[in-house]
């Protein structure tokens, strides 16, 4: 387990104390948590995320164990997203995976390993009514066979985060919501002329976030992957080229860092971010990461929307999910833990929006009064894009492989080993291959 930073734990102590000041644990109509009918059980839970997420998760585990003394939960934080799935893949192959596993939109790639959850609804999982849980959150986690395979941990969306302190010091107005792509690039040009030497206006997010690419494709009316006819991609080489050329032009104009600087950072969290390091002023993050990025910086951060243009493309989507390993020997206990994680106001007071805006109305109401400035900014962005949101598209099959290969293509273009046109051909071939793999 990675060492949890002392400062993170100290911050969370206040949150935990606040959680214990909330009303007594109560979930169902009888005013009690769902009963556990089994004997002593030990569960393992695997997730990805930084030290802050680990500390919050471990604190919720302690609350759960206090509520269910016969159940012990061992937390297994697996670092960044690629590390997590590499570890999970190895564990699943060796029949040694955790009982409870965190997934993203790639859960269908793991459906064969997941326990169908329908029989737990209304019993161990009190997420079957709109008063207890947003029923729309069940839809993306339900397979064609009618079974629910995972439980949403909240809603999330991509946002642009900016160093407010740095931009104000440069004497430039803060970025506005809903700028077009051309307006955003023009804003970056103005910003570059006023930033300190060596600081780029934007992080190079050309190929390190598949959802940003998917967003652009939707705007171009060439969706990367849809549910049409059981799964169809409308991606084109033309859209691929337009995306890669736009970022190549930005690189040539110094609006994003050079390749050497870009690939110093993994951009999978604040621990490896050009924005946090001060090498760029504006970057792309998930809305639930805002608090962690702010905690990693002394400069004040702000948030704004993704650029407008073309077709509506903004997806307010499920952030992450918890699924139960169908090889688990303690499925009832695992279902009770998932229920506690997503419906307990006490757990919600600790987790807050770390994994997205909670899908439980009860939890949302309990934590809304304590919303931080960062969370308030997220709520504002949800309002700002309300008239251009769309339903969430499914992830391209073999999603993690796509994410890994996407970054390799991006590196080759950034280092001049491929032209944008050649990179587009490589990218289209990758999409075509994974769609039928």
Q: Are 133 and 127 in contact (CB under 8 A)?
A: yes
Phi and psi (nearest 5°) for 318?
-65, 130
| Calpha distance 111→155 (Å, rounded) | 21
- Give the pLDDT mean for 183-196: 98
- Partnered with residue 42 across adjacent β-strands are 72
| Calpha distance 120→37 (Å, rounded) | 13
Q: Are 333 and 131 in contact (CB under 8 A)?
A: no
Question: 437 pLDDT exceeds 60?
Answer: yes
Strands 155-156 and 71-77: unpaired
Question: 327 pLDDT exceeds 80?
Answer: yes
| Calpha distance 411→414 (Å, rounded) | 5
- Give the pLDDT mean for 179-205: 98
Predicted local distance difference test score (pLDDT) of residue 136 = 84
Answer positive or negative: Cα dihedral of 6, 11, 12, 13: positive
Name the most confidently modeled range: 6-15, 118-127, 428-437.
118-127
| Calpha distance 221→46 (Å, rounded) | 37
Predicted local distance difference test score (pLDDT) of residue 366 = 87
Predicted local distance difference test score (pLDDT) of residue 386 = 87
- Give the pLDDT mean for 168-181: 98
Q: Are 347 and 60 in contact (CB under 8 A)?
A: yes
Q: What angle do CA 295, 247, 173 make, to 5 degrees?
A: 55
Answer positive or negative: Cα dihedral of 107, 382, 277, 351: negative
Q: Are 34 and 123 in contact (CB under 8 A)?
A: yes
Percent of the chain clearing pLDDT 90 (strictly above)? 79
| Calpha distance 290→286 (Å, rounded) | 7
| Calpha distance 434→138 (Å, rounded) | 26
pLDDT band with cut points at 50, 70 and 90 for residue 18: very low
Task: Give the model confidence (pLDDT) of 350-400 as tens digits.
Answer: 998 899 889 998 998 888 877 788 888 888 998 899 899 988 888 899 998
Predicted local distance difference test score (pLDDT) of residue 25 = 40
Q: Are 68 and 123 in contact (CB under 8 A)?
A: no
Place of tokens 């900014």: 377
Predicted local distance difference test score (pLDDT) of residue 372 = 83
In the Cβ-directed half-sphere of 435, how many Cα atoms lie within 13 Å? 20
Report the candidate in 166, 421, 423 with the shortest Cα–Cα distance to residue 283. Answer: 166
Helix count (H) and strand count (E) of the chain?
A: 16, 13
Which residues are within 8 A (CB) of 319 and not within 5 positions of it... i.e. 6 or more apart?
Answer: 104, 152, 153, 154, 155, 156, 286, 288, 355, 356
pLDDT band with cut points at 50, 70 and 90 for residue 308: very high
Of the listed ranges 30-34, 184-188, 227-231, the one predicted with least confidence: 30-34
Q: Are 337 and 45 in contact (CB under 8 A)?
A: yes
Which residues are within 8 A (CB) of 362 and not within 5 positions of it... i.e. 6 or more apart?
Answer: 131, 132, 343, 345
Predicted local distance difference test score (pLDDT) of residue 317 = 87
Largest CA distance in the chain: 66
Predicted local distance difference test score (pLDDT) of residue 316 = 87
Question: 4 pLDDT exceeds 80?
Answer: no
Q: Are 210 and 403 in contact (CB under 8 A)?
A: yes
Q: Are 225 and 395 in contact (CB under 8 A)?
A: yes
Predicted local distance difference test score (pLDDT) of residue 17 = 41
The alpha-carbon radius of gyration of the chain (Å, integer) is 22
Question: 170 pLDDT exceeds 70?
Answer: yes
Order across the sheet with 158-163: list the strands: 200-202, 280-286, 158-163, 301-304
User: Helix axis angle, 420-436 relative to 399-414, nearest 10°?
Assistant: 170
| Residues recorded for the chain | 437
């Amino acid at each position: 387990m990675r060492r949890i930073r002392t400062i993170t734990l100290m911050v969370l102590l206040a949150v935990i104390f606040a959680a214990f000041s909330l009303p007594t644990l109560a979930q169902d109509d009888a005013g009690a948590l769902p009963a556990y009918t089994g004997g002593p059980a030990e569960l393992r839970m695997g997730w990805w995320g930084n030290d802050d997420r680990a500390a919050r998760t471990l604190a919720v585990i302690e609350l759960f164990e206090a509520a269910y003394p016969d159940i012990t939960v061992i937390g297994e934080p697996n670092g960044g997203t690629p590390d997590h799935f590499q570890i999970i893949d190895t564990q699943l192959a060796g029949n040694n995976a955790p009982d409870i596993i965190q997934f993203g939109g790639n859960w269908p790639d793991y459906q064969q390993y997941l326990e169908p959850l329908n029989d737990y609804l209304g019993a161990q999982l009190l997420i079957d009514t709109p008063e207890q849980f947003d029923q729309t959150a069940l839809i993306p986690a339900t397979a064609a066979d009618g079974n629910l395979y995972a439980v949403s941990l909240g809603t999330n969306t991509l946002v642009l985060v900016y160093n407010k302190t740095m931009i104000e010091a440069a004497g430039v107005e803060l970025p506005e919501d809903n700028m077009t792509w051309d307006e955003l690039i023009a804003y970056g040009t103005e910003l570059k002329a006023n930033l300190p030497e060596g600081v780029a206006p934007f992080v190079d997010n050309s190929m390190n976030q598949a959802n940003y690419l998917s967003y652009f494709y939707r705007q171009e009316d060439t969706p990367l992957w849809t549910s049409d006819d059981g799964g169809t991609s409308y991606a084109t080489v033309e859209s691929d080229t337009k995306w890669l050329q736009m970022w190549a032009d930005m690189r040539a104009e110094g609006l994003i860092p050079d390749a050497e600087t870009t690939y110093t950072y993994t951009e999978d969290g604040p621990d490896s971010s050009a924005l946090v390091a001060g090498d760029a002023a504006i970057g792309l993050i998930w809305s639930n990461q805002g608090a962690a990025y702010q905690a990693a910086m002394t400069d004040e951060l702000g948030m704004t929307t993704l650029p407008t243009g073309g077709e509506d493309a903004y997806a307010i989507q499920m952030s992450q999910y918890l699924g139960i390993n169908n090889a688990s020997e303690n499925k009832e206990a695992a279902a009770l833990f998932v229920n506690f994680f997503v419906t307990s106001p006490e757990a919600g007071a600790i987790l807050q929006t770390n994994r997205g805006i909670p899908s439980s109305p009860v939890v949302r109401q309990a934590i809304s009064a304590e919303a931080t400035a960062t969370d308030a900014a997220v709520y504002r962005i949800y309002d700002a894009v309300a008239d251009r949101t769309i339903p969430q598209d499914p992830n391209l099959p073999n999603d993690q492989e796509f994410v890994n290969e996407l970054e390799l293509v991006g590196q080759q273009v950034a280092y001049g080993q491929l032209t944008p046109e050649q990179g587009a051909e490589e990218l289209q071939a990758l999409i075509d291959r994974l769609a039928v793999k």
